[in-house]
Structure 1
Amino acid sequence: MILTVSPATPADSALLAGLMQFYIYDFSEIAPEGSRDYDVEPDGLFRPYPYLDAYWQEDGRWPLIFRLDGAAIGFALVNQISNRADGFVERNMAEFFIMRQHRRRGLAAAALAQVLKLHPGRWEVAVLDRNPGALAFWPKALGAAGVNELERLDGGETWAGPVWTFTA
């Protein structure tokens, strides 16, 4: 099995939009009680990810596709937008996704290592308090990736959960 992480091109925009539907679906199970943010539209799809087009139009944004033996299995969206009011970051993991059938096999951690190699610098990864899977995954994956200066911070007023900062 060969896992690759490569920059997405505008030709991959439909693929990313499709994978994003699964990502949003996963988030729907941890939606706050009473939230309507994860209701499907009349066409049966979730609302599109509001910032996806910006990854093709703005500097400082990097869409990445994860492929296993050539088949797409996930993605990362990297940008330079800090989740902390006082934070400076060269790289922010805006979104990170591996399809369910490929989880718990070490592929997400391997993909993360490749993402960090492609985009070295000062990083931030913010995780919502209500996302237990991500809360368990990120500290282990970052530790395995051998990042430097790893620190867990409180998101404060701008983010409801921990924010890990580090250098890759």
Structure 2
Amino acid sequence: MLTPVTPVNQTIYNNLAQAYEAEFSPLTDKSPGPDGLFALDTLLEGSVTGYLCYVNKTPAGLAAIAQHHDKEFEVCEFYIVPRFRKAGLGTRFARAIWVNSPGLWTVKQIAGADYATQFWRRAIAEAGVKDMEEDTYDDPHWGTVTRQRFRNDV
């Protein structure tokens, strides 16, 4: 379920990231460059780790997780291929990430991504988190976002 991105599977991550960027382009107002590729907002470098999610050896999702401090994490990117949605895969993938890195978590959704906000509320609740805080936050890059913060020490 939780496969770290390495140089061996980096291309798979990058390919899925293009689908993710395209899906959100109406909200981010991003267009592909002259090469047909979207620039990625979150690069897997420094304190950012990437993960892939597979279904029967088929790449079905990705996540980019930043570690800001000891046991303090942020979901920077999270994507499940539409074909694999509505079956609980995203919730299981998110939970596997949280179990892998217990601590204080932040998740943000850009304005207009109401379906993403609904997903995160449900995923956090299904993980058994009791004290999730939600607010609106003025993100320096994305503007006003919906933000959830919680401690997950599963």
Superposition TM-score, scaled by structure 2 size: 0.87
User: For each residue in 1:69-98, what CA deviation from the matched residue of structure 2 results, as whole angstroms up to 9, or x when unmatched?
Assistant: 12111111000349xxxxx97100000000
Q: 1:104 to 1:157 in 2, by over 3 A?
A: closer
Say which SS state the counterpart of residue 17 (structure 2) adopts. helix
Say which SS state the counterpart of residue 112 (structure 2) adopts. coil
Q: Is the 8 A contact 1:89 1:122 kept in 2?
A: yes
The corresponding residue for 2:103 is 121
Shift of 1:116: 0.7
Shift of 1:151: 0.6
- Structure 2 CA distance, aligned partners of 1:96 and 1:17? 13
2:50 to 55, 58, 63: 63
Q: Is the 8 A contact 2:139 2:145 kept in 1?
A: no
Shift of 1:46: 2.1
| RMSD (Å), alpha carbons | 2.0
Number of residue equivalences: 150
Alignment pair present for 1:18 and 2:2: no
Larger radius of gyration: 1
Shift of 1:133: 1.4
Gaps (5+ residues) in structure 1?
83-87
Q: 1:64 to 1:164 in 2, by over 3 A?
A: same
If each structure's strand is expressed as a fraction of its own residues, which one has the higher value? 2
Superposition TM-score, scaled by structure 1 size: 0.81
Q: 1:51 to 1:138 in 2, by over 3 A?
A: closer
Q: Is the 8 A contact 2:42 2:64 kept in 1?
A: no
Shift of 1:146: 1.0
Q: 1:28 to 1:127 in 2, by over 3 A?
A: same
Alignment pair present for 1:160 and 2:144: yes
User: What is the percentage of aligned positions where both structures have the same residue?
Assistant: 25
- Structure 1 CA distance, aligned partners of 2:150 and 2:31? 35
Alignment pair present for 1:75 and 2:57: no
Gaps (5+ residues) in structure 2?
none
